Amino acid sequence: MNLIQQIRKELKSKANKKQKQGAEKYFKGVITFYGLKSPQVQEMAKKFYKQNKLTIEETLKLAKELFESKYFEEKQFAIILLELNNKKLEKQHLQFFKKIFEEDVNNWGNCDVLCNKIVYWIVKKQPETAQEIVKWKDSPKNWVKRAATVVFVKLGRTGKYTKEILMVCDTTLNTKERFVQLGAGWALRECWVGEQKTTIEFIKKNKERLTKEALRYATEKMPEKDKNYVYSQ
């Protein structure tokens, strides 16, 4: 039995029908579940990590195979393994993650955890990689577009990536798909925390390109006077 078979066997052994039905109902049948709670998958993945001393390349290969699964828990298992290997991830691995977003991500949960807990650390460790993330804005794939904004959410609070965030949003706002729009709104909200003047002018200028929901996200942390300024004609 190979590693992927071992993982699947253990996940199936802990599957709970009631948990599965509840999760699939919540996600309206878009995502398939075995029926495990997140702490269970976390415990399994951490145990697997300790028992199997895989190289980073072996981990990436295994993670890709898990991501190709239709099951949410297998994707979740892959994300936890990647997070445990954060320190080993470098610039050259960004293409691997772009491919994951292009081919295997099918929900905002997996997308955002990958962005905020894994790809984020590559950019933080190697700031020059921010320019690679900016290029993702031009992808025809919506989850790549969302990733191009969400990777910058925590970085936006520092005020150091305002230019990159606004550059990405200027392109992704051309897409009306809900999760792309909300990714832009989220990034703009945190960008405002780091650089208020420039960001608020961008939001005001582009408010007609934001959906109502995304605009609400973007202005959520602003005081009333700034919100009134954005919404004024």
For 187-209, the pLDDT digits (tens) are 999 999 999 999 999 999 999 99
Kindly state the tokens that stand for 20: 């599965």
* pLDDT, position 149: 98
**Whole-prediction pTM value?**
0.92
- Look at the alpha carbons of 10, 39, 84, 130 in this order and tell me if their dihedral is positive or negative: positive
pLDDT digits (tens, 9 = 90+) for 143-191: 999 999 999 999 999 999 999 999 999 999 999 999 999 999 999 999 9
**Predicted local distance difference test score (pLDDT) of residue 57:** 94
Numbers of helices and strands, H then E, in the chain: 16, 0
User: Which residues in the chain land under pLDDT 70?
Assistant: 1
| pLDDT score recorded for residue 1 | 64
Tokens of 89: 């991830």
Same CATH fold assignment for domains 1-88 and 91-233: yes
Q: Which two tokens stand for residue 189?
A: 């909200």
Domain boundaries, the chain: 1-88, 91-233
Q: What is the CATH number of domain 1-88?
A: 1.25.10.90
Predicted pLDDT at 26? 87
CATH 2.60.40.60 fits 91-233, yes or no: no
Q: In this structure, how many other beta carbons lie within 10 angstroms of the beta carbon of residue 104?
A: 18
